[in-house]
Amino acid sequence: MRRGERGRLGVLFALIGVVVVLALLAGAVFVYGRIQLEAADTGTEAPTVVTVTAGESLDQLATSLENQGLIKSALFFSAYARIRGVQLHAGLYQVDSAMAASEIINVLGGPQYCRPVTFVIPEGFTVDQVADRIAATKGLDITRTEYLAALTQSGYTAPFLSIRPAGDTSLEGLLFPATYTVPDCATARQVVQKQLTAFAQNVVPKLPSSPTQAYDDLIAASIIQAEARFAADFPLVASVINNRLAAHMDLQIDAIVMYGLHESGQPMSTADEGIATPYNSYQNPGLPPTPIDSPGLATLGGALAPATTTNLFYVTDPCGHNHYSVTEAVHVQQVDEYSNSC
């Protein structure tokens, strides 16, 4: 072989060698990069809420993620994120160390994380009181006005709303009292829907199939909730309600009157008794138009299974115990006896 040919072959082999080395290096870098984009850990720690600030760069975020042990390599994460065309948006995002880089990038490109907020709606709360409680809940950005406005909206997933009489749009009594946990970004409408769903799950299965009877029982339960403190009194108050309705007597229950005056929980005065509203149970026969609060399951049980008595009256002493009677004369005596003492 001539010297020139040997020289050209040497150059060719050298080039091939360089190509092979570069290919091996590229392969090694690729493999190493894939390893660096794998999950940083097994995710045994609690998820981390990452804050992306306005104007923060990919490199800054990647460094922060690496420092928190959420990714293996800020360098490779940044490069991969750029290839994926990530656009950062300020906000909160929840990730954990068990996520691969691709999963974290998916989170960053998705909806922001909302922290859970818990609030309690006690049994016996009216819609006005519920609105106050939600507006006062720290971390929940819903005003009283927004919540009350949501109660007037239509289109909720709640077929049981048909138990209300035609023209009745009130959700009083249909917002199940319970402990709720919702995202802090929840809207007033979403909170109302959650309460209606809880009512559907907890109350609707217990109601009679007749819409009219179901609503009447719910109204009775709300009255019992306002008028009885102890479980033993629930079926007894229900009995008085039913007996007075059967005898075509006005219910004459103060809690109903005060609800109509938007003063639930306040004592009724003689002047209050004379104010005409659809809820004045001294002037209007029968049950009130709607429930007067959100009853619990125990009071609903009393309404659904009233005691069998002939009682037509009761008076509540300062300790919350009810005392029952059949005649008005005995009732007057009990009022004198128990109004100021237990």
Q: pLDDT in tens for each of the 342 residues of the chain?
A: 555 565 565 555 556 655 555 555 555 555 555 777 788 887 677 888 999 999 999 999 999 999 999 998 999 999 999 999 999 999 999 998 889 989 999 999 898 999 999 999 999 999 999 999 999 999 999 999 999 999 999 999 999 999 999 999 999 999 999 999 999 999 999 999 999 999 999 999 999 999 999 999 999 999 999 999 999 999 999 999 999 999 999 999 999 999 999 999 999 999 999 999 999 999 999 999 999 999 999 999 999 999 999 999 999 999 999 999 999 999 999 999 998 887
Q: What is the pTM of this model?
A: 0.80
How many CB atoms within 10 Å of residue 26?
A: 10
- The rounded distance, in Å, linking the Cα atoms of 157 and 231 is 32
**How distant is the alpha carbon of residue 88 from its chain centre?**
30
- The boundaries of every CATH 3.30.1490.480 domain in the chain are 39-113
At 174 the pLDDT is: 98
Cα–Cα–Cα angle for 229, 233, 292, rounded to 5 degrees: 60
The Cβ-side half-sphere exposure at 56, using a 13 Å CA radius, reads: 20
Fold adopted by 39-113: Dna Ligase; domain 1 (3.30.1490)
Q: Of 66, 98, 96, nearest to 81 (Cα)?
A: 66
72: CB partners within 8 A, 6+ apart: 35, 36, 37, 38, 40, 66
Q: Are 278 and 260 in contact (CB under 8 A)?
A: yes
Give the relative orientation of helices 234-246 and 297-304 as an angle to the nearest 10 degrees.
40
